[in-house]
Copies of this chain bind each other. A is one copy, B any other.
Amino acid sequence: MIMKNVRLFMLNLPEVSKLLAGRLKSAFMLIVFVLTCLEIQAQLRSAVVSPEILPDNKVVFRLYAPEATNVSVNGEWMQMGEISELARNDTGLWSVTIGPLKPEFYGYSLYVNGVQVLDPANSQIKRDGTRNASVLLVPGKESELYAVNDVPHGTVSKVWYDSPTLGLNRRMYVYTPPGYETSTQSYPVFYLLHGGGGDEDAWTTLGRANYILDNLIAQGKARPMIVVMTNGNPGQTAAPGHRPPMSAQQGAAGGMGNMMFEESLVKDVIPYIESQYRVLTGKANRAVSGLSMGGLQTMNLTFNYPGTFDYIGVMSMGMTDMSNMGIQTDPNRDQKIEALKNAGYKLYWIACGVDDFLYESVITLRNKLDEHDFNYVYRESTGGHTWPNWRIYLSEFAPQLFK
């Protein structure tokens, strides 16, 4: 009984056809039948449009769920604990209109009798570590910077490289700017690091880094550059679904704070990129930035390897006591800050939102740098520890690079 309605949505065509093949002898009739089924399927699916963005940026969510007794929606435009209940009509279609929403790239989920689910009418999904969410891009001025615009697009490549430091063959994403393939020019390189729970996919899927760069380059705001997005978890080869069977080495390298990832970036990733791609070398042509865990790694990389990067961006991360996590504060931190100061750099950029749970740690970082008369630029934004902020930070940091 319960399955009756949903069955319409999941006609398994090959199987239907197999069952009917004996009866519909003519291949022509069979094809007409199958195409009719496909059309019906498509119409049924398209009958439920969700989400629908109205001209005033109000948004309608819909779910066909005649057997459900409670349906609600939760999205990144909401405060914690907030939900919007959908209302059922007499056909079993649930809907709610919310907003208007500010132009932004939002994740959201539906709840069906308490179970968090993706919106089945929406094919677009973003994965954040092990969690998926349906996505909604409300167009407008604020989201224009990461929209897929009608501008030249760079190439995003999924590249496997050997990391002797970690004992793994690993995957990274490499963005090459529009024109890379046809030019003979060499490009500067920006190493862009994700946060805890993320992987090499995060900056393109959640951060839309490739489209941000496309747009900045098209507007003449950023120099064409190569952007390298690694997997910052030293025990991982690649994102879920793209990992070879666990080998003896895997997992041995542990998590953040043991400096293994940082060492592998300097010893394995940079040499790989500089030998495989047409790039400019030396610190004047290298930038590094990361958010949260990637911000910690950015500090580690730049304090421990002074003279490697001229452009440094720490997003949503500062200095704090992490001894409870087994991460000891470097006893030589003061000397290392001096070493970076002496080695020289062109930009040390720190960005944080006033609502970020790490806001206090950023004050500690700034105080520590001030003690050393260490030159940095501080950018304080509204909001917290979120991708909307990191997308904005990227769009502000990238234009300052290699100039």
Task: Please give the residue numbers on chain A whose beta carbons come within 8 Å of chain B beta carbons, in ascending order.
Answer: 2-3, 5-7, 9-19, 21, 26-28, 30-32, 34-35, 38, 45, 63-70, 72, 74, 79-81, 83, 109, 111-118, 120, 123-125, 127, 129-132, 135, 139, 147-150, 152-160, 169, 171, 178, 181-182, 196-197, 238, 240-245, 247, 276, 318, 320-322, 324-325, 355-361, 363-364, 384-386
Contact = CB atoms under 8 A, between A and B. Distances in A.
B6 A68 contact: no
A21 B65 contact: no
B385 A13 contact: yes
Nearest to A4: B114
A2 B70 contact: yes
B65 A357 contact: no
Contacts of A385: 13-14, 17
Contacts of A114: 2-3, 5-6, 65-68
B153 A247 contact: no
Contact of A124 (B80, B178, B240): B240
A284 to B, nearest CB: 25
Contacts of A2: 70, 72, 111, 113-114
A115 B65 contact: yes
A155 B171 CA distance: 9
Contact of A155 (B158, B240, B244): B158
A49 B147 CA distance: 36
